[in-house]
Structure 1
Amino acid sequence: MADFPRNPLEKDGYILEFNDDFDDIALDTEKWVPYYLPQWSSREQSRPRYTLADSALVLQIEANQPPWCPEFDGDVKVSSIQTGLFAGPVGSQIGQHQFKPNLVVREAQPTIRTYTPQYGYFEARVKTDNRPGSMAALWMIGFEEQPERSGEIAVFELFADQMTAVTSEVRYGVHPWGDPTLRDAYFREVLPMDATEYHIYAIEWTPDHIDFYVDNLKRQTVRQSVTYPMQFMLGMYELPGEGVTPQEQPRQFVIDYLRGYQPVRGY
């Protein structure tokens, strides 16, 4: 098996509106918020470990890295970046991606929108770690200034325990997370590919459906849609479990690029 090649930057019938090739010597904070849901923890605890090398972003989990939010998420370790940030006052339960019912804002946060599109074609070229406990994902989530606008589109999720040298399970789909207009539509598909090599994962999000792609081939169409702006969450995780131990060499999730397009004629 081998890396799937990069797509051309230009896409017929579409206008490029967001692109990060990670060519700079530092993360572009005009595009990215360098924390993971910091309202439920703190900016210091939720900051990502990463390097920029060979024109790629390398998100890492280091051996001595502490859990990002032990109060609410146990021993899970995360290195993640996002394109928006919203939370209510300290002590409130107002904030993005309420993954548990008892979450409380622990640190005040500024409101930030770097890229929060509504509809479009989005793709990422990535490769990831296959050591036990590793997980990599690209999600879109609602900005949640209105709490019911909380849906999630999972562009992809890659779990190390579902990867071999010749097959990898790719998970993708839609989760309501409290949005009453959505229903759960989540898929697990084993594909003949090695996710430790570069592959392209993409969605086309329209007003009435969402198409999911792997390596430019459509894998699934979901006949429902999120109807409000969303932000990106791009992250590497260490999930606790049997056989999961700190690694001498950092776990790595390598992102070649993330792109966002809009159709020339609209939807």
Structure 2
Amino acid sequence: MTRELVFEDTFDGDRIDESKWIARYLPQWTTRDRSAARHRLGDGLLRLRIEENQPPWCPDLEGELRVSSLQTGVYAGPVGSRVGQHGRGPDAVVREAQTPARLYTPRYGLIEMRARATDDPHSMVALWMIGYEDVPERSAEICIAEIFGRDVRPGSARIGMGVHPFADPRITDDFTVETLPIDAREFHVYAADWTPDHVSFFVDGDLVRTVHQSPDYPMQLMLNIYEFEPHGPYPKEFTVDYVRGYR
């Protein structure tokens, strides 16, 4: 099958390309300062970082969780409403107004990333997709790769992949954690081929599993590193060589 490259970031510049990414994590539920990504670019690599002086993302909703994240869209209702992407339950309300943005919100295609994870046991890195959620039911997630540092070993790693429904009644939760014979601290290519009737997940070009269901609406990319509780050493880094999307 011939594919057309429609989205690519090889991180060759010295700053985040704002035509492709919003350098914040779900900013509607918190503040711009708390949602802002800590990062460095150089040598053609993006390093998303958790730094020692970084504030928690939203303490009253998620405690000490700290996040550095890029996303390719944002949608939220007015301040005080509960309308917004990837909500956090009844206590989550929009705290700062957001300008709707759809920088890259494909409907089907192949998404891939070349990256290396961290083995920090208090951290997790991920590339995932969420519905743009301009309609509440368009809220499912496709998790392309989710890697907890505690699951990274020199000769193996446990990689999470699959779909979550959230408020989409047509999707059934189908998520697994697969043990693969790779050192995730080195560069590997993680990908998902999203079609109208299934999503297939690959690592280094090898098919790992297929989910036989599929969200049928536009979704945006989420690329991030999390720290669940403060614990050095710092900084903690998620290093990404490229992200690509094909139609």
Return 5+ residue gaps in structure 1 as ranges: 1-11, 263-267
State how many pairs are aligned. Answer: 247
Please state how far the C-alpha of 1:187 moved relative to its aligned partner: 0.8
1:78-111: per-residue Cα shift (whole Å, max 9, x none)? Answer: 0001000000011100000014342111111110
* Structure 1 SS opposite 2:4: strand
The 5 Å alignment of 1:1-267 reads 13-240=2-229, 245-247=231-233, 249-262=234-247
1:16-64: per-residue Cα shift (whole Å, max 9, x none)? Answer: 1010000011110000011000000011110000000110110000011
Return 5+ residue gaps in structure 2 as ranges: none
Shift >4 Å, 4+ stretches = none
Identity %: 49
TM-score (normalizing by structure 2): 0.98
Retained in 2: the 8 A contact 1:21–1:55? yes
CA RMSD of aligned residues (A): 1.0
TM-score (normalizing by structure 1): 0.91
Retained in 2: the 8 A contact 1:64–1:246? no
Output the CA distance in 2 between the equivalents of 1:99 and 1:203: 26
Output the CA distance in 1 between the equivalents of 2:5 and 2:142: 20
Letter in 1 for 2:175: Y
